[in-house]
């Protein structure tokens, strides 16, 4: 089945912004700035999950430098900073990892829950260990203050799926169909790695405090920002556009540095010099564009239009065991344990290997289930369900209804189940589609769409019913 786009516009327009309170109190002149983590609707476990999923994609897209000398140097530095995290910002779920990306650009980024990636170009551009520590402390501060998911929390609770999609999308730049077709732009930006100025100021100040506790001079962080700025050239490097200067960045870092004064800060170390020497002996790092080209990945444009990477058709049967999936504060469901989850902007699809792909730039899947929400103007379930089916029909011209609506209970409330038939444009095969719908308290339609080839539908129908019977909804 081809996924449908019909409702995206209405969902996007439903986005509202919540005003975020960031408290930066400078109570006493002599005290370090108190940093209060911003409001966050996600759990620490969700940070870990999102970061883990995104890091898998990062490792597929970017060349990780597998060089023990360099990696262990960065890991040691990272651990030194981690051990300086104050107790109130420690999350035991988090797992801090440090990897070096073998590209020339001066950049670094960290993902929710702990994975950090430091470009080789960053280490090469740094004049001292303190400067590398500065950028890492800043990145680590975003992680421990949970800024990625705090940023995502600004969306309403009904955009949780969308936000999760945007988080992964910001790494790869598109829906999962495009990820698979590789016709994507590698862009670390948008919802997730590009932070608000308030969050930047928090990360600067928290980073300064971390540095001081780890024995570094916070002014080295400011020095590194200046180095990045100088080497920016046209447009400035990615790091600065992801981490915009909140204004007076150097001044307030210098002020904080005075308050948290470190005697005898670590600046140059033997390990730093050795690492730099070692890097000079390696073949020069390519640019990100070169690196991603070499591995057959496109970095520009494409957008998936016209790209075809249809499902392979080699699909394992649904596992008899189930695993729980928790979609933020929206819903929970148990799915076959051999179905992986594919986040799209407004939905999440669970499908086995070989069952998903892209066709004419659209995400398609031949076996599995999609869950999503659709805001609609109508207030009764029947009309909302009709609208959903119309939207499906627009994306799938040969879609036919083969049953009326069965009244069933979905997530302890009234729901509908209906079965449709379709001929898949991507595979040319006949397929059956079970659509389940119910409404949240505010009238938002929650749907689940199960797809299987017609000749396997009997087996899959039981799986779809079981998955839907496990559905728990909030709201």
Contact assessment for residue 123 and residue 100, using Cβ atoms and an 8 Å cutoff: yes
* Of 236, 40, 68, 61, the residue nearest 150 (C-alpha): 40
Of the two residues 196 and 334, which places its CB atom closer to Zn ion in the complex? 196
Pairing of strands 413-423, 430-439: antiparallel
According to DSSP, the residues that pair with 156 across neighbouring strands are none
Candidate ranges 102-110, 202-210, 213-221, 436-444; the one touching Zn ion (CB under 5 A)? 202-210
> Using CB atoms, what's the residue nearest to Zn ion?
243
Of the two residues 61 and 200, which places its CB atom closer to Zn ion in the complex? 200
Q: How far is the CB of 107 from Zn ion (least distance, A)?
A: 12
Q: How far is the CB of 192 from Zn ion (least distance, A)?
A: 12
Which residue shows structure tokens 């150097």? 250
Angle at 328 between CA 324 and CA 333, to 5 degrees: 30
* Of 266, 427, 437, 431, the residue nearest 354 (C-alpha): 427
Q: How far is the CB of 195 from Zn ion (least distance, A)?
A: 5
Q: How many CB atoms lie within 10 A of CB 408?
A: 15
Candidate ranges 49-57, 243-251, 306-314, 397-405; the one touching Zn ion (CB under 5 A)? 243-251
Of the two residues 129 and 242, which places its CB atom closer to Zn ion in the complex? 242
Candidate ranges 6-14, 242-250, 340-348, 426-434; the one touching Zn ion (CB under 5 A)? 242-250
Of the two residues 104 and 243, which places its CB atom closer to Zn ion in the complex? 243
Of the two residues 82 and 203, which places its CB atom closer to Zn ion in the complex? 203
Contact assessment for residue 446 and residue 385, using Cβ atoms and an 8 Å cutoff: no
φ/ψ (deg, to 5) at 402:
-110, 0
Q: How far is the CB of 46 from Zn ion (least distance, A)?
A: 21
Of the two residues 73 and 109, which places its CB atom closer to Zn ion in the complex? 109
Residue 367 touching Zn ion (CB under 5 A): no
Q: How far is the CB of 200 from Zn ion (least distance, A)?
A: 5
Candidate ranges 105-113, 151-159, 161-169, 238-246; the one touching Zn ion (CB under 5 A)? 238-246
Residue 243 touching Zn ion (CB under 5 A): yes
Residue 203 touching Zn ion (CB under 5 A): yes
Number of residues that bind Zn ion (CB under 5 A): 3
Residue 194 touching Zn ion (CB under 5 A): no
Q: How far is the CB of 249 from Zn ion (least distance, A)?
A: 10
* Of 337, 327, 374, 363, the residue nearest 471 (C-alpha): 327
Candidate ranges 60-68, 156-164, 174-182, 203-211; the one touching Zn ion (CB under 5 A)? 203-211
Q: Which runs of consecutive H residues, i.e. helices, occur in 42-174?
A: 44-61, 68-82, 120-125, 129-144, 147-152, 160-172
Stretch 252-291: interaction string toward Zn ion, x if CB under 5 A: ----------------------------------------
Q: How far is the CB of 166 from Zn ion (least distance, A)?
A: 18
Report how far apart, in Å, the C-alpha atoms of 319 and of each of 148, 326, 419, 453 are. 33, 19, 23, 17
Q: Which residues contact 398 (CB under 8 A, 6 or more apart)?
A: 422, 423, 425
Return the structure tokens found at 194: 């590009």
Of the two residues 106 and 440, which places its CB atom closer to Zn ion in the complex? 106
According to DSSP, the residues that pair with 216 across neighbouring strands are 266
Contact assessment for residue 341 and residue 371, using Cβ atoms and an 8 Å cutoff: no
Candidate ranges 59-67, 106-114, 192-200, 279-287; the one touching Zn ion (CB under 5 A)? 192-200
Return the structure tokens found at 257: 């540095």
Q: How far is the CB of 82 from Zn ion (least distance, A)?
A: 17
Question: Residue 49's Cα: distance from chain center in Å?
Answer: 9
Return the structure tokens found at 302: 């494409």
Contact assessment for residue 10 and residue 374, using Cβ atoms and an 8 Å cutoff: yes
Q: How far is the CB of 138 from Zn ion (least distance, A)?
A: 5
Candidate ranges 198-206, 247-255, 337-345, 447-455; the one touching Zn ion (CB under 5 A)? 198-206
Interaction site with Zn ion (CB under 5 A): 200, 203, 243
């Amino acid at each position: 089945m081809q996924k449908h786009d019909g409702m995206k516009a209405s969902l996007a327009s439903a986005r509202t912004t919540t005003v975020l309170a960031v408290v930066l109190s400078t109570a006493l002149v002599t005290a370090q700035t108190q940093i209060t983590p911003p409001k966050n609707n996600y759990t620490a476990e969700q940070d870990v999950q999102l970061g883990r999923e995104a890091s898998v994609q990062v490792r597929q897209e970017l060349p990780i430098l597998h060089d023990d000398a360099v990696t262990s140097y960065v890991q040691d530095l990272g651990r030194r900073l981690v051990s300086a995290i104050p107790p109130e910002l420690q999350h035991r779920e988090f797992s801090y990892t440090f990897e070096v990306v073998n590209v020339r650009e001066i950049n670094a980024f960290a993902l929710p829950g702990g994975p950090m990636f430091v470009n080789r170009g960053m280490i090469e551009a740094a004049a001292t260990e303190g400067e590398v520590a500065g950028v890492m402390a800043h990145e680590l501060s975003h992680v421990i203050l949970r800024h990625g998911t705090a940023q995502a929390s600004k969306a309403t609770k009904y955009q949780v799926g969308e936000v999760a999609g945007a988080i992964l999308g910001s790494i790869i730049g598109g829906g999962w169909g495009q990820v698979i077709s590789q016709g994507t732009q590698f862009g670390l930006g948008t919802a997730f790695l590009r932070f608000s100025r308030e969050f930047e100021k928090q990360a600067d100040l928290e980073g300064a405090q971390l540095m001081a506790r780890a024995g570094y001079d916070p002014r080295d962080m400011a020095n590194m920002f200046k180095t990045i700025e100088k080497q920016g050239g046209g447009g400035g490097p990615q790091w600065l556009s992801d981490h915009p200067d909140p204004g007076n960045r150097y001044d307030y870092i210098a002020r904080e540095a005075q308050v948290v004064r470190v005697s005898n800060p670590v600046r140059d170390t033997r390990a730093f010099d050795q690492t730099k020497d070692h890097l000079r002996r390696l073949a020069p790092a390519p640019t990100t564009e070169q690196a991603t080209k070499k591995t057959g990945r496109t970095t520009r444009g494409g957008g998936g239009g016209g790209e075809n990477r249809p499902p392979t058709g080699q699909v394992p049967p649904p596992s008899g065991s189930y695993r729980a999936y928790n979609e933020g504060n929206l819903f929970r469901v148990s799915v076959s344990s051999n179905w992986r989850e594919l986040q799209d902007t407004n939905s999440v699809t669970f499908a086995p290997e070989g069952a998903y792909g892209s066709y004419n730039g659209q995400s398609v899947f031949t076996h599995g289930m999609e869950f999503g929400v659709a805001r609609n103007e109508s207030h009764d379930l029947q009309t909302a369900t009709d609208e959903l089916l119309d939207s499906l029909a627009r994306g799938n011209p040969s879609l036919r209804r083969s049953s009326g609506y069965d009244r069933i209970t979905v997530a302890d409330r009234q729901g509908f189940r209906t079965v449709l038939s379709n001929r898949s444009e991507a595979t040319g095969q006949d397929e059956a589609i079970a659509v389940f719908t119910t409404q949240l308290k505010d009238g938002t339609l929650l749907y689940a769409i199960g797809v299987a080839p017609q000749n396997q539908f009997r087996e899959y129908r039981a799986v779809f019913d079981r998955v839907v019977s496990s559905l728990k909804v909030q709201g």
